[in-house]
Amino acid sequence: MSKNGQTQQFDKAAFQAAVEKHLTTTYAATVENATPRNWYMAMGKALAEISTGNLLATEQQLASEKARSVNYLSLEFLIGRLTGNNLISMGLYEDVAAAMEELGQNLTDLLEEERDPALGNGGLGRLAACFMDSLAAQEYPAVGYGLHYEYGLFRQSFVDGRQVEAPDAWRGIEGYPWEVVRPELTQHVSLYGHVEAYVDDAGNNCRRWVPGMTVEGIAWDLPIVGYGNNSVYPLRLWECRSSAPFNLSRFNDGDYVGAQYPALEAGNVTKVLYPNDNHDQGKALRLMQQYFHCACSVADILRRHLAAGNKIEDLAALETIQLNDTHPTIAIPELMRVLIDDFKMSWDQAWEICSHTFAYTNHTLLPEALETWSEALIQQMLPRHMEIIFEINHRFMLQVEKTWPGNNEVKRKLSIIQEGPQRMVRMANLCVVSTYAVNGVAALHSELVKRDLFPEFNELFPGRLTNVTNGVTPRRWIKYCNPGLSALISEKVGDDWPAHLEKIAGLEKFADDEAFQQRYMAVKKENKQRLADWINENMGIELDTNAIFDIQIKRLHEYKRQHLNLLHILSLYHRLLNDPTFDMHPRVFIFGAKAAPGYALAKDIIFAINKVAEKVNNDERLGGKLKVVFIPDYRVSLAEILFPAADVSEQISTAGKEASGTGNMKFAMNGALTIGTMDGANVEMREEVGDDNIFIFGLLVDEVQKLKNEGYDPYRYYHADSLLRAALELLNTDEFTPGHPGQLAAIRQNLLDGGDPYLVLADFADYVKTHEEIDAQYRDQKTWARKAILNTALMSKFSSDRSIRDYANNIWKLEPVKR
Ligand code: 26Q
């Protein structure tokens, strides 16, 4: 590897020629009339030529070496823009900037032309993207399998403060420059139909699926470029085409479309990403997406395995399949079906392979997010899979009977089938029974998975339930998004920290160095200015970068408690106007969040914050001390501006509800101090930075449970705390919605008469007090700088490289393969 991590010679003239060739032949533009978008597309294509070559070479090498690899199955990959990131991984950023400059183009401007591929909702999808980056950076052989949605997560705008959704055609008219279609990998996926018994040539009683229809799966590969090495792994996204799905002769009469395939009325299977986050919706089309994804991916894994000259019996030795939550669970009965029905294995042989191939990651304890599918729906769409699920459950129930003889209670609890008016398949139970490892995503979460979610499974399968704490890629989330900080880090600890984040611990000894503190805070100031400029240009709001930038960016959900943040803002507003002795350092509260389109209260919270912002930002009486900004259409490319600009990071979920969080890590690496509950990975971040360098508040998990068991009464807090009362009562007036009193009352209603399910009122007082502490400490800039530096220095545990090594060593048993 040469300077800048460049892995191969860069031929500037050849590159420029390739750009110009694409400009003319691919995009029909001339050097004279090309738009910035034409230039960006042509440059992307020229770069993709390099990465595609390396992708094919890596593929061949891994096949010939018969390397064990991981297959990461996820319905979501929230990768964000690829161009800038891939340039860094290829070590070509400066060279390409110079080459484009000679062509009269500014690289930074061209990078802004790229739309975010928003093929995910939030944390789970972004985690998958960080994991692919870390697999490639460390050369652990891997393929990512996902869906090629035509529309990614909806685009959000605000109309009179309310969220409005619009479709996200992320590929544009020209297509996305980094993707390459692989027609030779096309798969055929069956749906519907029935199962029939038959006797094979050897006289065995067999069963087979006679499908009602088939659709095609087209593979699109995106290159995941390893940082500073020449390995490129595919992120393989399946697109469904159902152009000729109705040619099966027995269905050639009558209105079979409407009668047999109701889900198809919704159009193509891969048209759109479901916009729910931490909520199960149970729509037939979603099940079809999941099966389509699994059928294509399992078939492709088997194709690769066999094409490399391996025996089917050796599948578990050479391939492991990681299920990103339960969304790809149907891959388990699918592999069973293929091994038994197509490869003619016995049940026991097939089970031996399956149960040593799959591993499952749990991302949530929220009951409403635990997936179940009705037996009737699976029976109709995937009749053979339903049979197989029943057989898995039957054998599992015999095992339960052996351990807990005669105990029907425990059987009812552990069964994959949930009895009731309509029987439901519990996908998480199917996963725990059928996989060799189950992990939570932070230490606390994994303990709760064992203690509260699956205690009996933990007894039955000792050692199967484990933890892998999440992480984030330092390439995108420090080096790429925060060049100022990156330069400072490299100066102090050398420039190999992006691949070896342990090295940033070397900053610790500069935490008390005043000159370093000043430079560190100067970088923070520049990053705040960059964000302030964006906000001014795009929203027309002027901000003072001397104010504390206090940021909460994540999906909108009650458990994440954006409304607790709002109540704090209302309390400051109230005090500034009513208490002449009240003093505060100027503060800017910044939000970014999308609400699931069907989640009414989440949308009400967005509306309320927008309305409060409108009033507060224009209220002369506040003397500029309080500003509130809700950034529309929060996405990865905006996150890249927001994380580096934060002074304070809001991680305020009800204890026990946020499985891990990953934004918390991105903030801290970039030098924001966390105000947070003892939840998710906050707990481990506190362990790393020490109690003095993080602001912890609120009830602990056990206190939350105790309070609920005792009978939580939000009115108790309401009556006892006049500040809380004042904040809540503001929601009942027309203070923020002139002429329309009560427009914000739904939130107050939910917190008081709705029982306050996430204990917002119980944590309010401690939250306010902790914010006062932050205010006091920020005024001492040296102390603040010291704490911020220590946050950057002590975050190395939260590199996704470490997470991936944990998976590779403790779960997958995977070794790197160097190119
Ligand atoms: C389920 C059924 C039907 C439709 C959609 C869904 C669905 C989709 C997305 C359910 C859940 C999700 C996403 C969950 C998620 O993002 N969880 C987050 O995962 C992060 C990575 O582990 C954690 O850091 C967060 O704490 C967790 O909330």
d(CA 536, CA 544): 11
Tell me the average pLDDT across 449-458. Answer: 98
- What six digits make up the tokens of 268? 């193509």
Name the residue of 124, 134, 424 whose CB sits within 8 Å of the most ligand 1 atoms, as the mutation to test its pocket. 124
Mean pLDDT of 246-264: 49
Give the whole-number percent of the chain exceeding pLDDT 90: 94
Is residue 45 annotated as part of the catalytic site, yes or no? no
What are residue 373's DSSP bridge partners? 425
Which of 659, 658, 653 minimizes the C-alpha distance to 561? 653
What are the backbone angles phi and psi of residue 572, rounded to the nearest 5°? -65, -45
Residue found by looking up tokens 């048993």 in the block? 813
The residue-averaged pLDDT of 20-33 equals 96
Sequence-ordered list of residues with C-beta below 8 angstroms from that of 121, at least 6 positions apart, any chain: 76, 78, 153, 273, 275, 276, 277, 555
Instruction: Please say whether the beta carbons of 626 and 590 come within 8 A.
Output: no
Q: What is the value of ipTM here, to two decimals? A: 0.99
- Among residues 81, 286, 560, 802, which one is catalytic? 560
Q: Whose CA is nearest to atom 2 of ligand 1?
A: 280
- Give me the percent of the chain exceeding a pLDDT of 70: 96
Q: Contact 724/764 with Cβ under 8 angstroms?
A: yes
Q: What one-letter code names the amino acid at 440?
A: G
* CA distances to 31, 35, 83, 88 from 110, in Å: 15, 10, 10, 15
- Annotated active-site residue 706? The verdict is no
Q: How far is the CA of 442 from the centre of ligand 1 (A)?
A: 14
**Ligand 1 neighbour 124 (Cβ under 6 A):** yes
Catalytic residue list contains 411? no
Domain with CATH 3.40.50.2000 in the chain: 66-81+119-469, 475-798
In tens, the pLDDT along 500-516 reads 999 999 999 999 999 99
Q: Rounded to an integer, what distance in angstroms lies between the CA atom of residue 220 and that of residue 396?
A: 38
Q: How confident is the model at residue 2 (pLDDT cuts 50, 70, 90)?
A: very low
473 is catalytic: no
Catalytic residue among 148, 327, 554, 563: 554
Q: pLDDT tens, 275-324? A: 998 888 889 999 999 999 999 999 999 999 999 999 999 999 999 999 99
- 89 vs 225: CA distance, rounded Å: 6
d(CA 499, CA 4): 12
Average pLDDT in the 708-722 region?
Answer: 98
Retrieve residue 480's tokens: 């790429």
| Per-residue pLDDT tens over the stretch 607-647 | 999 999 999 999 999 999 999 999 999 999 999 999 999 99
Predicted pLDDT at 282: 83
Q: Write down the pTM of the prediction.
A: 0.97
Residue 252: is its pLDDT beyond 90? no
664-705: per-residue pLDDT in tens?
Answer: 999 999 999 999 999 999 999 999 999 999 999 999 999 999
pLDDT tens-place string over residues 69-104:
999 999 999 999 999 999 999 999 999 999 999 999
Residue 586, phi then psi, degrees to nearest 5:
-55, 140
Using the predicted structure, report yes or no on whether residue 259 has a pLDDT greater than 60: no
Residue 283 alpha carbon, nearest atom of ligand 1: 3
256 vs 549, more confident: 549
Q: CA nearest 523: which of 788, 796, 791?
A: 788
The atom of ligand 1 lying closest to the CA of 326 is: 1
Q: Does domain 475-798 have CATH number 3.40.50.2000?
A: yes
Superfamily, domain 66-81+119-469 = Glycogen Phosphorylase B; (3.40.50.2000)
**555 annotated active-site:** yes
Looking at residue 81, its amino acid is R
- Answer for the pair 139, 808: CB distance below 8 angstroms, yes or no: no
* pLDDT tens per residue, range 344-399: 999 999 999 999 999 999 999 999 999 999 999 999 999 999 999 999 999 999 99
Pocket mutation for ligand 1, best pick of 323, 364, 373 (most atoms within 8 Å of C-beta): 364
Where residue 264 falls among pLDDT bands split at 50, 70, 90?
low
Confidence band of 9 (pLDDT split at 50, 70, 90): confident
3-class DSSP assignment, residue 147: strand
Number of C-beta neighbours around residue 264 at 10 A: 21
Provide the 8-state DSSP code for 151: B
Averaged pLDDT for residues 254-267:
49
Q: Whose CA is nearest to atom 5 of ligand 1?
A: 276
Q: What is the pLDDT of residue 7?
A: 59
Residues 6+ positions from 500 with CB-CB distance below 8 Å: none
DSSP structure class, residue 154: P
> How far apart (Å, rounded) are the C-alpha atoms in residues 764 and 769?
9
Residue 115's CB: how many other CB atoms inside 10 A? 16
Q: How is residue 148 written in tokens?
A: 């090629």
Nearest CA among 445, 661, 660 for reference residue 554: 661
pLDDT at 213: 87
Residue 271: active-site member: no
Q: How confident is the model at residue 8 (pLDDT cuts 50, 70, 90)?
A: low
